[in-house]
Structure 1
Amino acid sequence: MMVPRRLWALGAALMILPVVAVTACASTAPPPPPESRTGRPDRGAELITRYGCGSCHTIPGVNRADGLVGPPLTRFGARSYIAGQLPNNADNLQHWISDPQAVEPGTAMPNLGVTAIDAQDIAAYLYTLD
């Protein structure tokens, strides 16, 4: 039985497609893991409660932080990107926390008036979640 040329070509293309898709994802090296050499994680956990972050996010280790509006922040320290746009590093995370609308206009994350020092401590806590 002969397989028509078009069907053979389609079958070959479909077999190669998963390899191309995986290769495309692997061709871009992920950014280095985030780190924060400054900030106080213990204070950051308290600030997460004070600013009400847990009303929108699930955040391990923070009492009553079980919100379902925003993404869960579990294993945040192991993530490559913030809001799907910024490489996950301390400077970018602090910028995102203190002024999310400047990073992604129209995002559901509100500007809560988080100060620079508070953002530094919140980031330090989030980086413990790996």
Structure 2
Amino acid sequence: MSDIVRSYLDTWNATDTDARRTLLEAHWSPAVTYVDPMAEVCGHEGVEALVGGVQAQFPGFVFTPVGEPDAHHRQVRFQWGLGPEGAEPVVVGFDVLVLDEQDRIADVRGFLDRVPA
């Protein structure tokens, strides 16, 4: 499951639209649902718009894993950080990914643990 977490974070870090679309098509279900305290979107277009919005709000920041993922069956939970590369994360969150039968991300439930004022 570490591979799917890496692909998930790679999607959030992809600043090139074509690269992000390629990651979405390869690793995310076309019918994906995504919910966190700030957003609720579905499908590749919804996730792509959300990622672009976060990148615009936090230019130059990157998502990194925090700790090790915990997985069973077709689901994985993990903590992530968002901040300048190589620095302490400014934002920390916790996501749960549920995979479909093709091992693509079908459902994301996100939580924010630390958010700047």
TM-score band, normalised by shorter chain: under 0.3
TM-score of the superposed pair, with normalisation by structure 1:
0.24
Would you tell me which structure has more strand in proportion to its own residues?
2
- TM-score, scaled to structure 2: 0.25
* Greater RCO (Cα-Cα under 8 Å, separation 6 or more): 1
> Which structure has more helix as a fraction of its residues?
1
